[in-house]
Structure 1
Amino acid sequence: MKKIVLAITAALAVNLAYAQNNTDASSKKNVFATESKKFTLSTVTDWMKDKGVFQNLDVSVTAGTTGIGIDVASRVHEDVQLRLGYEYMPRFKKSIYFPVEVGGEPAELYDANGNRIESKFDRLSKMLTTFTGYSVDTEIEMIGKPTMNNLKFLVDVFPFKNKHWHVTGGFYWGPSQFASAVNSTEAMTSLLGVGIYNSFYERVLNESETGEPVMSLTIGGQPFNLELNPDQQETILKNGRMGFRVGDRKDTGEPYLMEPDENGMVTVRAKSNSFKPYLGFGYGGKLLKSRDDWQVSFDAGMMFWGGTPSLITHDGTNLTKDVENISGKVGDWVDLLGGFKVYPVLSVRFTKTIF
């Protein structure tokens, strides 16, 4: 029994000694790690101070072709500065007009002397007003506006000793949609009329094939069928669909008529890549001769859209890629956007040095 007690006591003593050794080793290891960490942080801090990395802060307001914005900047090298900011384009509006066309014929026709003559549109418009009470204008107004807003990350490199000139590279990032156009409130009556007429056209076409009435309604439990006389049906079928002539489809050569959607709306959305690289240059200096903490600078460069921007209508047609021979102001806008694979950037920046 005595031998057993002595054996147990000896085992406990050995375990306690081993645990103590491990604790001492662990403590030494933690102390070493802590000292190493302190040494590393101190080294990094000293290095940043010595090299001037993130030792200053500039805050700027900007205005230019990409909108109005704000950014912050700090140097990471004597000749290199990082900028991070946000820009927002004010929502100013511009009217765009789409002419109405019926069966490939413009809504307004003129003779050789410039006198207005009756067109298919005029005849159908009178019929439509008789049936529905709605009149259709010869053109619809769409309201276009920019929707651009982007975050930006830029790197300025100052190649000269005076630090006035800089070369800039970086990127803008934001929503792919940068502009949109929606029909005006005044155009909604015309769009409703066009939608009703095209519904008539489809139903007359179906009636000629299936014998179904143009429209069936149930009022107070009683069915009512709207039917057109043969002359009216022939007029509708002969003249064809009503829509807003935009241009010709590239794949078939047929006219592209934009028609209102099921909600009686017409929309166009301009899109590019969300990620847009930037390359440019600029010049800056003191805003006030007596103050070193206020500067002004001017930048010029290019934002790369990533190819030709898309103009997508509500029916999925891409006006810059699927349609050609677009006339009028609409064609001018489409040609302008289709010709630019980069967006010109011009801006002025007012900067206050915080520290």
Structure 2
Amino acid sequence: MSPPQPTPLAALLDEAGAPPRSLVLRAPDIGPWRAGNGIPGVWSFAAEAPGPHVCVMALTHGNEIAGGIVLDRLLRAATRPAAGRLTLVFANLDAFSRFDPDDPTASRFLEEDMNRLWDIEVLEGPRRSAELRRARALRPVLDTADVVLDLHSMLWPSDPLFLVSGRSPAVELATRVGVPPLVVADMGHVAGSRVIDYGPFGQPGSGRRGLLLEGGWHWEKATVARMERVTRRLLHETGVLPGAPLAPDAPPPRQAQVTHTVTARTTEFTFTRPWRGGEAVPRAGTLIAMDGGAEVRTPHDDCLLVLPSLLPQPGQTAVRLARLVPPPG
């Protein structure tokens, strides 16, 4: 049997993973929001009624502009919380400032990935970079947040999903939000800690919850619409904003637990075909990639491929391998 063909989205990408310019979303004009109302790029609003502090972040990676579009829409609509506190964060302002639709993958970060810095020792250590300066400036916001939603989009075609730290109580909240239809728990990257791994967000019993939304392909309008829906659903479920509940017969999202994280070791890492995130490989031992001379095979049956990065560099996560969790009862 011939192998499945690449998805239409993958076929549109050049070898660096970039789409034709005509497909790139127009970057939002966030000029009115750069000053913030306390910290640059951060807008925080409190209601009279008590409730949780919910923080929604976008542009943690400067080229993932769909999340920036969502925050821009919320601010232009003068969105205010009905209870608790709502904080909207344009995270990596400097990288976003360099976004170029002719080279839309180049502004992910300036000096280092901002979503690999959220370890206490790193934040309080001697290292210096543009991203670390910004992370340190944003740290007081996260220190007071009960829930953080970090909006991301994807370079390679994949089904949308929530990621939560493997130690986190956020699975229950993500399941209540109800969309997207997959919630994946994992332990993060060898290269460093994500926002959702930071401090209390990754600690059982803290009551603090961190969710990372991978909302869809970077360049699709549908990604913006999905991010906006998820954001409003989260704010409804936490009581910060009123909103419509899901249909009563809506199936709960599937849950998966990452069992193995595959990190590229060589510059010759190559997948056997352009796997799509969300595919499940039926049989254990299936060859899915070569890393130099080393084989990468599925460790168990029905192995879910989570966010394969088709052109990983050494030290980067190439793919996570996960097992679906049976529904309760």
What TM-score bracket applies, with the shorter chain setting the length? under 0.3
TM-score (norm 1): 0.23
Question: Which structure has the highest helix share of the two?
Answer: 1
Question: Which structure has the highest strand share of the two?
Answer: 1
Structure number with greater Rg is 1
